[in-house]
Amino acid sequence: MTKHQALIVDDEADIRELLHITLDQLGLKVWEAESVQQAITLLDSHQFDLCLTDMRMPGGDGMTLVDHIQRHCPQMPVAVITAHGNSDLAVEALKKGAFDFVSKPVQLTRLRTMVQTALQLRHDSRIPHTDESGLNGNSPVMINLRQQIARVARSQAPIFISGESGTGKELVARAIHYLGPRANGPFIPVNCGAIPAELMESEFFGHKRGSFTGAIQDKQGLFQAADGGTLFLDEVADLPIAMQVKLLRAIQEKSVRSIGSQDEKNIDVRILSATHKPLHNEVLSGTFREDLFYRINVIEIKVPPLRARREDIPELAQLFIAKFAKESATTAPKLSDDALKALIEYPFPGNVRELENTLERAFTLCTDGIITVHDLSLRALTAKATPQAPGISSGSGDYIPDAGLSIDDYLADIEREILVRVLEENRWNKTASAAKLGISFRQLRYKLQKLGID
């Protein structure tokens, strides 16, 4: 069997020798270059499976080599070696397409893990299949989204997934994970807004028995659970500042310390994060650390709202109806022409999640095997902005009161829409929803009873 071939580029002979020995022990055939120009010459005449390059060299830097590789052999992973603490340079290399980075002095365990991960990359850039990813639709924005996912899946760069609530940000994160070299590792999703602040450090990093009241046994944290795989931080904007500091350190150092432990444990985790909030605004307001923002937002993927891909609604509607029919072991009802037209024209402030919930309700209510407009129970919305509570993502629609509807009923409808949306965002966790809305749990319970929300 042909050996994998690796190219090492560094002007320091002792560094090249160390890397050469390490890669040789992993079963690779190793080539060396002491300058960028020598490396380019070798790249033009040989086919390599991996390249490791220093960033600071006389006569050229590693960034020039990263650019060359992206233009001429983009399927080959290239990792950069940076001076300790020079994380800005490493982040810039990741943005340009580098697979990953290691810092000097090189930790051999970390280097071996990175090399093994790089060699697991597929040589073909697979586009995620919609049946596998759930990212259905053939609109231009969805085709572009799936192409972006295929590109970033090959990298180990942190990815920030932005988009309104209900657009499918977790589906994007899962697709990135399962298309990449970590597909056989764990995918650990966590809703940052649903963890009480006092339990966050224990949830993320774990704790030792007896480290605090109630710690009756050792607990593994989310970082340790995701070791070798991907940690998906959903609603990352909801993290308190104190936790943001600890998270930043864990990402930078690639190690964590459980509460009550004196030892740090190295971790090999890829970080994906998401939020429906405009994170840049959170940075400007001081509620989100700027250094953490740039650390998790190396590459951003924007998930389009449903109103930006209305042509996908017929396909999505049929898929959801077929799914409900299969789950209930019944014949799938048909969607009337008027009902389909209403769905296409409706702005769906809750996006795909709202479309699914709407069709599930209609599936239950319909008679004679046909879903009508009446079964959909769509509220009267136009394409203006929805009134919203502070910090709550807005949809694209504005309530238009029906004839004879009082202002009290009109405002109650708006309040009901906001409450349901926040509850859905937090998977109907009322404690987290109350905190999101800035009200007490008792106030939320009263509002739910008053508005008849189960």
Report the distance separating Cα 116 and Cα 186, nearest Å: 17
Q: What is the pLDDT of residue 346?
A: 93
- Do 256 and 179 lie in one domain? The reply is yes
Residue 37 lies inside a defined structural domain of this protein: yes
> How many percent of the chain have pLDDT more than 90?
53
pLDDT in tens, 135-180: 999 999 999 999 999 889 988 999 999 999 899 999 999 999 999 8
Q: How confident is the model at residue 389 (pLDDT cuts 50, 70, 90)?
A: very low
- Do 147 and 243 lie in one domain? The reply is yes
Residue 124 lies inside a defined structural domain of this protein: no
- Do 269 and 251 lie in one domain? The reply is yes
- Show which of 302, 325, 359 is a domain's final residue: 302
Residue 125 lies inside a defined structural domain of this protein: no
For the record, the structure tokens of 292 come out as 């953490």
Residue 365 lies inside a defined structural domain of this protein: yes
- Show which of 273, 302, 331 is a domain's final residue: 302
The helix/strand/coil state of 234 is strand
Q: Are strands 78-82 and 50-54 parallel, antiparallel or unpaired?
A: parallel
How many residues appear in the chain?
Answer: 454
Question: Which CATH number do you get for residue 318?
Answer: 1.10.8.60
Q: What is the pLDDT of residue 103?
A: 84
Q: Return the residue matching tokens 């580029």.
A: 9
**Among residues 208, 235, 202, 236, which one has the least CA distance to residue 221?**
202
DSSP one-letter code for 246 = H
Out of 235-244, 285-294, 409-418, pick the least confident: 409-418
Report the distance separating Cα 125 and Cα 454, nearest Å: 46
Question: Which CATH number do you get for residue 56?
Answer: 3.40.50.2300
The total number of structural domains in the chain stands at 3
Mean pLDDT of 446-452: 79
Q: What is the pLDDT of residue 382?
A: 42
Q: What is the pLDDT of residue 446?
A: 77
pLDDT > 80? residue 114: yes
Q: How many Cα atoms sit within 13 Å of 47 on the Cβ side?
A: 5
Mean pLDDT of 395-406: 46
pLDDT > 50? residue 399: no
Average pLDDT, the chain: 86
Beta strands in 332-443 (DSSP E): 334-335, 370-371
Q: What is the pLDDT of residue 441?
A: 80
pTM of this structure: 0.75
Backbone angles phi, psi at 329, to 5 degrees: 55, 45
- Do 62 and 200 lie in one domain? The reply is no
- Show which of 302, 324, 341 is a domain's final residue: 302
Q: What is the pLDDT of residue 414?
A: 78
- Do 292 and 412 lie in one domain? The reply is no
Q: Is residue 145 within 8 Å of 136, Cβ to Cβ?
A: no
- Do 100 and 139 lie in one domain? The reply is no
- Do 183 and 196 lie in one domain? The reply is yes
Q: What is the pLDDT of residue 398?
A: 46
pLDDT > 60? residue 429: yes
pLDDT > 80? residue 284: yes
Range of the domain at 368: 306-451
Q: Is residue 74 within 8 Å of 97, Cβ to Cβ?
A: yes
**Among residues 219, 193, 215, which one has the least CA distance to residue 205?**
219
Q: What is the pLDDT of residue 170?
A: 95
- Do 46 and 186 lie in one domain? The reply is no
Report the distance separating Cα 253 and Cα 247, nearest Å: 10
- Do 112 and 134 lie in one domain? The reply is no
pLDDT > 70? residue 124: no
Question: Which CATH number do you get for residue 144?
Answer: 3.40.50.300
CA distances to 89, 105, 206, 273, 371 from 217, rounded to whole Å, are 41, 36, 11, 30, 53
Q: How confident is the model at residue 131 (pLDDT cuts 50, 70, 90)?
A: low
124 vs 420, more confident: 420
Residue 96 lies inside a defined structural domain of this protein: yes
pLDDT > 60? residue 250: yes
- Do 323 and 287 lie in one domain? The reply is no
Q: What is the pLDDT of residue 334?
A: 95
pLDDT > 70? residue 426: yes
Q: Is residue 212 within 8 Å of 260, Cβ to Cβ?
A: yes
CA dihedral defined by 316, 317, 318, 321, rounded to 10 degrees? Answer: 120
Q: How confident is the model at residue 406 (pLDDT cuts 50, 70, 90)?
A: low
Q: Is residue 307 within 8 Å of 347, Cβ to Cβ?
A: yes
- Do 338 and 234 lie in one domain? The reply is no
Residue 253 lies inside a defined structural domain of this protein: yes
- Do 80 and 173 lie in one domain? The reply is no
Residue type, 216: I
pLDDT in tens, 311-364: 999 999 999 999 999 999 999 999 999 999 999 999 998 899 999 999 999 999
